[in-house]
Structure 1
Amino acid sequence: MTRHGTFTLATYLLLCGAASLALAHQGPDPIAHWAMTSRSIDGKVCHARLGPDAQLPEAGRIANDAHGQSLDMTGAGPAETAPLGADSEYLPTREMTVSAWVLIDEAEEVGGVAAAVAEDGSIAWRLGYNDKCFTLDLATSEAGQTQVEGATPYEKGSWYHVVGVYDGQTAELYVNGRLDASEPKDARGDLVYAERQRVVLGGSGDTARPPLRGRLREVSVYDLAAKKAWVAHEFEHNRSLVTLKRDARQDSLSMVVSPYLQYGTKEGMTVMWQTSLSGTSVVHYGETDECEQSASADDAEIHEVRIEGLEPETQYFYRVETKDDSDQSIGSRVSTFSTAVNEGTPFAFAIISDTQANPIVCAKLAGHAWAQRPSFLLHPGDLVDQGVKDVHWTQHFFPGASELISRVPMFPVLGNHEQNASNYYEYMSLPDPEYYYEFHYGDAHFFMIDTNRNVGPGSEQYEWLDARLAESTSQWKFVCHHHPPYSSDENDYGDLWKQNKSERGDLRARQLSALYDKHGVDVVWNGHIHSYERTWPVKGNRAVAKDGPVYMIVGGGGGNLETPGPSRPFFQNRVHRSHHYVMAHVNGPTLEIRSFDLDDKLFDTVVIEQDAE
């Protein structure tokens, strides 16, 4: 795994302690990250988003609550990785941050949330708790064993964000965004590891002591020392876990999310909507506004109905209807959709990314895009600002995008702001495993990737993408993922107003570029940076005249705008700072791309012609 992020804005905050919390993104990549959801727990295996998987002694039990999912550790025993060498890339050496969301049901004299434990039981580091408060234990080369004991008592049955930080000299313990205790100068030197050790999640590392009796939601390990501003920001990002209450159940049936479309093909379409109460899921549809046919699915609050047996290149009308147990009924107005086109038929699609918490801008862009009658919407991630918050979906994204996605299907990928939350998987209906997938449309083949996860050589997505690109016979090959391999941004990959060094893009995502070069990918669409950028064709990390993929950042869907740096990198062709949307038009060997600002004014256009065979 390539470690990167050293010069990102968020890393600058980590290293320098800047006070501003106005972060555009979530910061550097952890070297290891486990999110405890039904997507990551597969029987006895806890799949890591980054780093090594962990093994449970028995099948994991997922707990659902008002804010998402967690792993119920009570009686299950801790999760442990395979043994790691002292020089493992997944173990911090001198500087360290360990961050976790944990709920404790039963106090212990010595308890563990996350720890690096040798085979003889010795501890290199442990974020834990005792019968009163949270603790941080370290073994360092110059000070030996050190423990930081928190000052704030924890309450059983409550969620806490706990962070342990070590910078080579000082050990700090944070609870719910605030510094709770520190040991200045008591801990010095490198962290001391044995020849072999495991990372233990939900256990102290002492087999004679009981594992965590409670719940574990997320654990992240960094090889950087966090400052107060970063810790506070991380806590604020998910404060709802400790402050929000369950919504009271409504007695009246109402529409929470209006109908929207997913995964349109030549023969099928998925219609989804959400109601305040569980009820029937019925879609009436047909080739006239009488909607004389119907399809249904199981009762639900988030309704998902797949319509099959449709004709290609055909306009259909549809409306939805839900009835609950008390015979209350609610429905939608009649709308339309069209099935996918056959090979050889021209089509066009819209691209909008990073809509985040700005339904006003999103709605304006969606309206402009719909006026151009695209066949579908491609969304390169960050649909919302905080994926774990229901209201960010029901009050931000869906109201903003409704004019467009009620008429055309949306094909999204996960951004970092989705937080891999269960909300994303409940609201989206995509081919398994949903965080990556593919689809065909006309003469194009689309490959949708989750760059929040491992994407380096040997990873699941890398191997899948290599194989699927090799098998593709489509005239056009397009890839979509959130993080940009190439970017001219001023400070996300190195502050170019303070130094002349920048990674010029996401290095983890850039590992995929070798596949794009190898298999002749035409365009790669990204978000994450809240501005617009189109590169020259790039191949072998060099700008070329042709026969290389063009990389496009289209992150102007609503997030706070960002700015390119003061110097022009080799790959840069066109940059533009505005909220925007993009239209791509495909006609045989011709691809036309046009980009429009918030006032619907054209600011960039490019035509790519494929050589005749």
Structure 2
Amino acid sequence: MKDLLLRSILFLIIYSVFTLTVAQVPTRKGWWKFDDKTNILKADVGTDLALQGTSKTIDGPKANDFAVSIGTGSYLKMNHGITPASGNFVNEYTISIDFRVASIGRWYCFFQTSPTNSNDGDCFINTTGNIGVAATGYSLYNIKPNEWYRLVISVKNGTHYKYYLDGQLLLTGTIQTVDGRFSLDKTLLMFADEDGEDSEIDCSEISIWDSALGAADISILGGYGHTIGSPTGKTHMLIPFLQNPSTSSMFISWHDTSSTVTKVDFGTTSSLGQSTNGTSELIAGTYRWHTVQLTGLQPNQEYFYKVVSGSGSSSVYNFRTLPGANYTGKIRFLLLSDTHNSDTTMSSKIIREAKKNMQQLYGGDIHKNVNLVLHSGDLVVSGNNITQWTTQFFAPMSPISPNIPFLTVTGNHEGEHEFYYKYMKLDNISGYPAPNAFSERFWSSVVANTMFVGLNTNLSGAALTLQNLWLESKLTEAENDPKIDFVFLIGHHFSITELWGQGITEDSRPAYLTNQVFPILKKYSKVIQYSYGHTHGFERGTVESQSTTPRNDFRMVCGGGGGGAIDRWGSYINNDYPNIHVTIDNFCYQLIEIDVANRTFESSMYSLGNASKARNNELMDKWYIKVTQQAPAAPTTSLPTINESQIVFNTSKISSDSLMTVRIQIAEVIDFNKTSIDTMVHWKNIYKADASFNPIDKNKGIDLTKLSFKRTALKNDKTFYYRVRYRDHNLKWSVWSNVTSFNTPTYIAASTIPAKFNLEQNYPNPFNPVTEINYQLPEVSKVRLSVFDILGREISTLVDEVKSPGFYSVKFNGKNLSSGVYFYQLRTNSFVDTKKLVLIK
């Protein structure tokens, strides 16, 4: 009787505990156990899943338990049935996934919130077995292959984003915004990634809740018995950031909350064998930055290393020192800018795609073939926000930062904040080393035959004067050094931009570039490129050299498509500048290769598209400099072809390379002291995009050897002279051609009274300083012809009177105006038309 009573009591206790446990976990909105082999995607709770791609049924983690293996490139569609409680999308939910992977070293994806699989995945296992995503951070814990785990992600956007593994807190991630990237549409894609980071993965169970489960609920859910240890925060600990390399040294920095040890173990093999100690500095809060400078290294040598601090040691990584003075191989670098964004989806993707591309182009060990990463500023959204330095910069850069060293300049979003100068170690290459107040503000570093210069375009006042003097000294140094072939500069701000017109007058930085920096750069023959950001997109233009020993012109290139929200066409004022030849509103990066022995420079821009049209590492622009290539031979001119409407100037083909630009001068005097036309025409003018979001080339189909001008551009019954010179894509100019004279016959109009109102495009355009505006009136009209600046202010009235029907021509002189875009408008009682004119001095 006692035994029966004890068994009854024991049963009641077990039943009560079981009932309490079940009651403590909220009811699921969806539950898929994959145990019905006849319908493996059947829902135990909710709606059946749908398969896109391939899968197979496999044995699960327990006897008589089944699972599904989702093939590479395949995914499951889940209609979760959760109704948004706040916002337009589901912002509070919990997902549980029982999973297993066969190996580490590949990317695996858990889910993606885009129902069309058009964006990057939103939770990964990276190649070292860490779980997370750049936007939220990654765990320090590394999963093991061929073992089952239960991952639970509890989300309440605006409040928390937490990862749990086998019932234990794995990572407190960066809090996400309401209705942002991590909110759910009606359909959730499990295991989907749009660009191949979705290797085969096994899954034995998926659950979803319409609430953010707490730690107690998740602990009850349990898992497969792994001990996770202390959860990680967002400080991105023990992930190295290489910076400021040289032929004999390397700075290695990393986060760790502990201050007890700062050490790097290193060597020329994976056995390491040497150690160097360093120092740590508390940046803010718990963010402690450890730095070791390795010195006494050999040039162009591969080293293996790991970082060691109070929380432990990192994996073993490797890097290569810069090549020495006698190096004759190739140097390569990745160029980035404006990677800052609170949503790091695109900046993280750009880094991964750039790494993949570099591996395909140069080989799998990128540290052996790529020397440097240059970043021209705007690393974070707010330089004074300590968490952003990890979530927006160090974490997204981490796929390459342990292997390739960085050199950066500060952007306007860093705002000269102390965090930038605490994190970046530039003193030994600084224009004015410590204890000077301007230490690390601007710097230079020589790699083989190339001098790299980092400018600070945030400075003002006396600091700019100091920077200018230093810049002159470095350019003179390069000019006098026969071993230096190229000077490559980075700074954050632009001189002009086509995508973001408001930015030109937003502050004084563009004027500083235009009026102070560029006049300095023009004087030196070895300058090949000034790279900038600030505008979020890609732009490429040219600046004419004024060196007394000219070699070639130089380029100004915007690489601001690094992850910040793209400045789309039409979002801001757009200006079509003649010396910007290619503008594309895409996310992008650049890879640059310098062949030291052959003295050549080649740069390529790769695009990832934009929100309207994705692109997959598409090569969209390419340019070069070849020092030893001769300039084009003098072109030959012949008589132009003239008819009632146009004049076509006939010139020879270019002698070598390919024709980029023709400069043509037309004058009534043979010495060309006073010209009727003096303009440059380029092979290409990519400006804006079509309905399919492809770039528009406004000069498509142009034949630069047959330049065409309106007949009305030149006076009737006059003798004119013309000549041309050619610039090739190597940015070298020919000398002037022979001079050809021609006569303009008198043009007789088909009718003395126009059939309609018309305002013609001014000519020449661009102009300096005089241009001609033609218009026609079909009837007696009160006419007002005015010129306006870009802000809409009337700056000149050319005509303001009653006019008879007929054809009219008016000269406009802009000698007292600044270079820029202006507008002219013809207004009558029944007609209004406005056109743009560009003054370039």
Question: How far apart are the structure 1 equivalents of 2:605 and 2:232?
Answer: 44
Moved more, 556-565 or 260-269: 556-565
Can you list the C-alpha shifts for 1:12-34, whole angstroms capped at 9, x where unaligned?
xxxxxxxxxxxxxxxxxxxxxxx
**From 293, 298, 321, the counterpart of 2:279:** 298
Choose which of 318, 321, 330 in structure 1 pairs with 2:305: 318
2:591 equivalent to 1:583: yes
Per mean C-alpha deviation after superposition, the further-off stretch among 263-272 and 512-521 is 512-521
Instruction: Return closer, same or farther for 1:567/1:267 CA change in 2, 3 Å cut-off.
Output: same
Identify the residue that residue 394 of structure 1 maps to in structure 2. Answer: 390
Q: CA deviation at 1:549?
A: 1.6
Q: Which residue of 1 is the match for residue 512 of structure 2?
A: 508
User: Does structure 2 conserve the Cα–Cα contact (< 8 Å) formed by 1:257 and 1:398?
Assistant: no
Correspondence for 2:553 = 548
For residues 469 and 414 of structure 1, the distance between their equivalents in structure 2, rounded to whole angstroms, comes to 21
Measure, in 1, the Cα distance between the counterparts of 2:306 and 2:617: 30
> Deviations along 1:115-173, whole A, 9 cap, x unmatched?
xxxxxxxxxxxxxxxxxxxxxxxxxxxxxxxxxxxxxxxxxxxxxxxxxxxxxxxxxxx
In structure 2, runs of 5+ residues without a counterpart are: 1-229, 282-287, 359-365, 428-432, 434-438, 609-615, 631-841
C-alpha contact (below 8 Å) 1:488/1:569 kept by paired residues: yes
Identity among equivalent pairs (%): 25
1:464 maps to 470
Q: Among 324, 333, 345, which residue is 1:342 paired with?
A: 324
Amino acid at match of 1:509: L
Q: Indicate the residue corresponding to 1:602 in structure 2.
A: 619
Bigger radius of gyration, 1 or 2?
Answer: 2
For 2:372, the aligned partner's letter is F
Residues 459 and 293 (structure 1), Cα distance of their counterparts in 2 relative to 1, 3 Å cut? same
Q: Residue 370 and residue 456 in structure 1: after superposition, are their counterparts in 2 closer, same or farther (change >3 A)?
A: farther
1:459-498 superposed matches below 5 A: 459-472=465-478, 473=481, 474-493=484-503
For residues 237-275 of structure 1, give each alpha carbon's deviation from its aligned partner in whole angstroms, at most 9, with x where no partner exists: xxxxxxxxxxxxx99998536211011111110100011
Aligned equivalents of 1:299, 1:530: Cα separation in 2? 35
Take 2:254 and 2:405, find their aligned partners in 1: how far apart are those partners? Answer: 13
Q: CA deviation at 1:506?
A: 1.1
Q: Distance in 2 between matches of 1:492 and 1:257?
A: 42
Structure 1 residues 447 and 453 mapped into 2: Cα distance closer, same or farther (>3 Å)? same
Q: Cα gap change, 1:494/1:518 in structure 2, threshold over 3 Å: closer, same or farther?
A: closer
Map 1:524-563 → 2, pairs under 5 A: 524-539=530-545, 547-563=552-568
Within-5 A mapping of 1:11-410: 256=237, 258-300=239-281, 301-323=288-310, 329-343=311-325, 344-357=328-341, 358-371=343-356, 372=358, 373=366, 374-410=370-406
Distance 2:384 2:442 in 1: 20
Match of 1:448 among 454, 467, 482: 454
Counterpart residue type for residue 624 of structure 2? V
CA deviation profile, 1:85-128 (whole Å, cap 9, x unmatched): xxxxxxxxxxxxxxxxxxxxxxxxxxxxxxxxxxxxxxxxxxxx
Letter in 1 for 2:622: T
Cα distance in 2 for residues equivalent to 1:378 and 1:585? 13
Q: Which amino acid letter does the alignment assign opposite residue 513 of structure 1?
A: F
Per-residue CA distance 1:520-570 (angstroms, 9 max, x = gap)? 2111110110010010343469xxx97222000000111111145555211
1:327-352 superposed Cα distances (whole Å, 9 cap, x missing partner)? xx311111111100134331110001
Task: Assess, with a 3 A threshold, how the Cα gap between structure 1 residues 299 and 491 changes in structure 2: closer, same or farther.
Answer: closer
User: Amino acid of the residue matched to residue 577 of structure 2?
Assistant: P
1:460 maps to amino acid: L
Question: CA separation of 1:494/1:470 partners in 2, compared to 1, >3 Å: closer, same or farther?
Answer: closer
What CA distance in whole angstroms lies between the structure 1 residues aligned with 2:250 and 2:404? 10
User: Residue 492 of structure 1: CA displacement?
Assistant: 2.5
Q: How many residue pairs are counted as aligned between the two chains?
A: 350
Evaluate the alpha carbon distance shift between residue 514 and residue 455 of structure 1 in structure 2; reply closer, same or farther with a 3 A threshold: farther
Identify which of structures 1 and 2 has the higher relative contact order when contacts are C-alpha pairs closer than 8 Å and 6+ apart.
1
Structure 1 residues 567 and 381 mapped into 2: Cα distance closer, same or farther (>3 Å)? Answer: closer
Equivalent position SS for 1:319 = strand
| 1:456–1:506 distance in 2 versus 1, CA, 3 Å | farther
- 1:404 is displaced (CA, Å) by 1.4
Q: Helix, strand or coil for the counterpart of 2:422?
A: helix
Distance 1:456 1:526, change over 3 A: farther
Residues 347, 375 of structure 1: 8 Å contact kept: yes
Q: Secondary structure at the match of 1:512?
A: helix
Quote the residue 1:155 is aligned against. none
* CA spacing shift, 1:363–1:257, aligned 2, 3 Å: farther
RMSD: 2.7
Q: Conserved in 1, the CA contact under 8 Å of 2:241 and 2:405? A: yes
**Measured at CA, do residues 311 and 585 of structure 1 come closer, stay the same or move farther in structure 2, by a change above 3 Å?**
same
Distance change (3 Å), C-alpha of 1:537 and 1:252: closer
Give the deviation of 1:370 after TM superposition.
2.6
1:255-314 Cα distance to aligned partner (Å, 9 max, x none)? 536211011111110100011232210001111111211111135431110001111111
Aligned to 1:427: 423
Q: Secondary structure of the residue that 2:420 maps to in structure 1?
A: helix
